[in-house]
Structure 1
């Protein structure tokens, strides 16, 4: 596991788009030299248009802008959205875009799922929030509940380096100017954990495993798409057996019902060993956060499911700080007490007679999933610079 823990960071918890978007847009509006953005989804809605505007204004001031979006998550930005950015000098890169097959996106695996922003090498954002309006409460009943952090201090250098490494590994971009690392800014000890398909395949999972295995009092995990492999399931059950309070907050109002069905296959096994399961019912849960013993916390993009743990490019910030961990723990406790229903073993066992074979097969499939995934057909993912090319009678966006 590649680790680089940094002392002296300030980390602020951002809850939902109401906290995240103003923080990012304000930072970009004040940028003087460089803005690096990685995201899974950008949409042409009020959030995407505000992102577009602040990037254009920064580029017009001479700021270097590198915007990376996933080719699967962001497939349909049109010429009217892109032209102003490209003309202003924003460099937009699409991660591994692929042509549609019978009108369907088929490039589901090995996606760029990270959500990172770095401004002038001095402030960074890490989390699970995409640039789209469904992360705002006024979107309606399907608005997502999600989290990010704003970071200042030495760890910003590591987040910036991760963005630049992606640009250099998957595409060709102009060399970046050196940026002075951030000075000591606060009390938090932090570590950026990256999951890729090269040398850091299990780093995020290993951080989770170590924190859970060392837990003595309380493990609290809120995760949108929960279908972990054998090692994480065993660690959670072992912690509950030795008297640790293990509480999972999972989706109760799912944006992807199939994923919730997969999670429910695991309920009885977990409940039997004393793990507490709560389903969040106010809105779709999209968060990927955890707290252990009021000392260790993580916020990032990685779900605890096969796609995130074995295939996607992910980024989580690990945080060791009592004040931050306590604040996140209290927030999640309030969430589970006021906005969740607790799952009982009686409810979980309804229909268990037909689910039991699926549970058995799931355990053993997941135990070997990384090895299986490694045998899937793969090509080298690349970053494609987006351009707008004029055709007779129409404009087309080209990867």
Structure 2
């Protein structure tokens, strides 16, 4: 792993759920004068997607260069009218690795799972929040609990660079890998190559891909666990780490560190729960505390260690995120930000979670459940590595017009609600 390039002088603000995230992002886009760069796994054509569309169209019409990249699996269908309004205004909408029409939903591996926004090279956003209404409390019981950050300062240049590397493939020649050509990408006029200092936080953007940075995010977690002396809190939506990360958590707990995991109380896949419960046994016997979040679906991907280290990003601690998907996390060393994240997670653990007891994880286990659970555990643990050994085909980024993403929009309002509901349901297990 290439040594991460830490930057100092950053201002970082924690944003909880869509109520804080969407207004901040939309306000930044409304003030843009030069450039807007967006990457997202999911863009739904609901009230959030429509609101984003309006601010992007307005930005493009006043001369701002706007590039939006969505994932071909996470955002498989957008209506013709939705896309046309964007492209006619000058927004450049790209699709990462769009599947062929006949296999639209058969490419769930090696996806663009990152959520990044960069405006004018001076302010950036990164976290786990997609552009969809299910990140708002008024969505109902299925509204997601999630986190992101607003960033100013030199580290914004790293966010911008990450998005540029993806966009480079939109114009790369056939057969070129997805990383950009040597010499880098040209700077846009008026965009700051290195933003001015805006605070005191030390930060770095860490990515995961299938070429040069295959385990960077996992390794940063392990280094933080190794250095932990007092406390670790990890809140993660999909938790099924590999042996090395599990061992790091166990070792930290055994040397007296209070390791708390905040995980989903209602996992999406029942058979995966059997394997996860076997992981719970190992961790809890080492002294790790496991809290099941029961209020709403947990979608966060955040962690803190002691008083200064923290991370917020798109990476789950599961095989897809750690071994296959393109992910991005911000690592922060700052006492103020660490305290802000702890102030959000501790009340959540105390009032909205259930602390598991060891006897709950191994009670009523029949021999056949142990056998099936062990099989699932080992298959899920090794499956991503098996896939990673397959030839790594070039994953293209194409203009939306050259993909099967655009579909006819439903005509009547009732049909529209049903259409968007079906799209939303089809994504529940993908995230």
Q: Name the TM-score class by shorter chain.
A: over 0.9
The equivalent of 1:63 in structure 2 is: 64
Aligned residue runs from structure 1 range 83-232, under 5 A: 83-101=84-102, 105-169=105-169, 171-172=171-172, 175-177=186-188, 179-180=191-192, 181-232=194-245
Aligned residue runs from structure 1 range 1-399, under 5 A: 1-2=1-2, 3-101=4-102, 105-169=105-169, 171-172=171-172, 175-177=186-188, 179-180=191-192, 181-257=194-270, 259-352=272-365, 353-358=367-372, 360-361=374-375, 365=379, 368-369=382-383, 371-376=385-390, 378-387=392-401
Q: Which deviations, in whole Å up to 9, do the C-alpha atoms of 1:239-296 show, x marking residues without a partner?
A: 1111110110000134555554543331111111111000000000000000001210
SS at match of 2:220: helix
For residues 359 and 242 of structure 1, what CA distance do their matches in structure 2 show? 29
Q: Which deviations, in whole Å up to 9, do the C-alpha atoms of 1:3-40 show, x marking residues without a partner?
A: 01000000000000001000000000000000000000
Structure 1 window deviating more from structure 2 (142-151 vs 176-185): it is 176-185
For residues 292 and 33 of structure 1, what CA distance do their matches in structure 2 show? 37
8 Å Cα contact 1:36-1:67 kept in structure 2: yes
For residues 351 and 99 of structure 1, what CA distance do their matches in structure 2 show? 46
8 Å Cα contact 1:294-1:329 kept in structure 2: no
For residues 84 and 187 of structure 2, what CA distance do their matches in structure 1 show? 24
For residues 309 and 383 of structure 1, what CA distance do their matches in structure 2 show? 22
For residues 357 and 294 of structure 1, what CA distance do their matches in structure 2 show? 41
8 Å Cα contact 1:230-1:366 kept in structure 2: no
Give the drift of 1:367: 6.0
8 Å Cα contact 2:135-2:143 kept in structure 1: yes
For residues 317 and 203 of structure 1, what CA distance do their matches in structure 2 show? 12
SS at match of 2:78: coil
TM-score, normalisation: structure 2 = 0.86
For residues 357 and 214 of structure 1, what CA distance do their matches in structure 2 show? 36
RMSD across aligned C-alpha pairs, in angstroms?
2.2
SS at match of 1:56: helix
For residues 226 and 380 of structure 2, what CA distance do their matches in structure 1 show? 20
Distance 1:259 1:117, change over 3 A: farther
How many pairs were matched up? Answer: 391
Give the drift of 1:119: 0.0
Residue ranges of structure 1 left out of the alignment (5+ in a row):
none
Q: Which deviations, in whole Å up to 9, do the C-alpha atoms of 1:80-114 show, x marking residues without a partner?
A: 11111000010000001112547x60010000000
8 Å Cα contact 2:271-2:376 kept in structure 1: no
